[in-house]
Structure 1
Amino acid sequence: MRLPTGIINDLYRLSARKELRGLGFRDLSIFNNALLAKQWWRLIHFPNTLAAKVLKHCYFPDSSIVQVSDCSYGSFLWKSFVWGKELLDAGSRWCIADGSSVSIYHDRWLPRPISFKVQSPPVLDIFAKVGCLKLSSGAWNEDLIHASFEPDEASLILNLPCSLSPSPDAVLWYFDKLGSYTVKSGYHFGCERILKPSTSGLNLVESWWKALWPLKVPGKVKLLIWRGCHNWLPCKGVLSRQGFSGDQICSVCHSRPESPMHALWGCHSLKSIRSMCGFTKGIKCGDDTQFIDFMMECRSRLSFDNFELLCIVIWRIWYRRNDLVHNHGSLRVEEVVLWSLTFLSDFQRANSVPSDKVANMGVEKLKWKPPGKGLFKINTDAAINGSLGRVGIGIIIRDSAGHVMASSSQSLRSVLSPQSAEAVAILRGLQLARDSGL
């Protein structure tokens, strides 16, 4: 049965990320795609499994799985795997070791999404491998690289860490720190490809939703704000547009149509509440104002504490409105702000770490400890000088008595990320230990 368009649109909104007005529910199509991409990843990295051998015999007997290009035939299972391959290809690139397996101009190997490919006009042989850009020592041939690529791409290549030992090239997943594909990272990447905002207006909305969900208020309060921003509150104006019979006039003030903005803040009966919440003075809150615009303006102007209090007050206003309309309640508007102050204080106190525990959390002082008898400890550090385009590395190796067995300081012509620089320092430390016979 084909689902109605309205239901499909509602499901689409719910599956959008929280930063984009959604609730973060999984999009089943993208999640399915991410799961199948994981299967293709396993076929690449575990070629000796029974499943990989069977598929190779059937579909690519004379090549490797990374060279598969014609995928228009085969069983439903194979076509499903190929669908996952499309997602994996979009977010993966080659990790260069010896460079013998990677084509300079045809393969994806530069750390630059989304293409990951070389954009400079071909100067070298069109079928040349990345290995020809390296010296016999394994380091990059800087003169050749500067002569063959545009300056920005030459810088990207020279910043790639060099593998100084012979090892095969490997495929890595760019959107994971460890380079390993996970369904979670694949799903988020798939969502980014479809839902990523492209205008400054959407970026502003995204920043608003990012500010809403981390608030230290109950989930029911955040959900009410979310519904109000979507015009999904069952107030008279919204119900009338959905085809319900009856007028749109507010049941509290009996003077204006009841929109989410009117019911939650703009109603004439809430004038004393607006006066008590003086921090919202000067923020437009007329009936022609959209509730999401009002909340975004409040978030940009108010302090974090005042904005959290405002959210609690709005939730209590909605509670008072429903009590008046459905139960003929008598909650006075003056009590709303006082109740909200007490409620917010109690909630945050109940969800915070006791002050006595915080005071007793001592910070352990770091002190170097020698390794066990017969062992050696390698300590490394890296520092980056972005203006000079260099990375400094320091290495020291000591025995169980604290005696220095070897040490080294190196300066590399590269601009790496802090994580990559520390990783290179550790690698150089291990190489120093090996060369020292330890």
Structure 2
Amino acid sequence: MGFRDFVCFNQSLLAKQSWRLLTNPNSLAFQIYKQKYFPSSNFLQAKWGNNASSVWRSLLWGRELLVKGIRWRIGSGTRVKVFQDPWLLRSHSFKPITIPSQDHLHLMVPDLMQESGKWDWTKVNNFLWEVDSFARKVRKMLELWPHLIGFHGRGFKDLFQWMVDNGRGEDLANFVLVCWSLWTERNLLVFQNKVKDREDVLTRARRTKEHCRIFSEIRFHVGIQTSTQSFWQPPITGAFKVNVDTAVAESLNNFGVGIVGRDNNGYLIFAEGWNFQGSLCVRTADLLAIEESY
């Protein structure tokens, strides 16, 4: 019949039955299972329980697949918890990634709405800054609050355009660097499943800003020096020195280059290395390393 994976096929069929159970709370089957397995909760929170039947265990296995793709569609929102239920248009959990405090753990979606049922964007923006201590630190670093007084947008695109139009000088630079750092952390989470301390976002932004300041002030002196001296000599004050080294593996048809940049005090500014396929002489590879350093 063309089935490639019977396990996945069976689980998808059971997920369909779980969906029917979830969307028909007045059915006889739902009432029986509720009385036996989840009398004080709902189907999505139900556990195996004692002496669970094979049918119930199968339904819960189907539910594992179901919960990966379902979310609430917000109407009145009276049954939806902001931090515990899936309701956002996110590609993974459909939940906010912010870790709430105990005071906000049971916050309901209507708490972020007007009486008319429309979103209260002022309340949403204020709440998102208030609930997250990390967000408050970002706000303090960016000093965004005076700029956001007149902001009425609904997403990052609107916010970015607002900052481009209204931000000036260092405020705009800080905003762009933090956005870049946040995007880097997001990619690490999505593509490599790596979760780092969120303080690294601000640290990376501050470090990048300092590097940009250094690079804008220093003078470049590019050249290749061949010497038998084995000790490092510092550059003149206000400049930095880039040292390059090359390793050629002719038998493997590749070569590696590395660069290290240090200021006149010997402090490391940057270091990087690359591996290339092909064969080059050492001097040409050194020139390639210098080009890569830009």
* Structure with the larger RCO, 1 or 2 (CA within 8 Å, 6+ apart): 1
TM-score normalised by structure 2 residue count: 0.41
Task: Tell which structure's C-alpha radius of gyration is larger.
Answer: 1
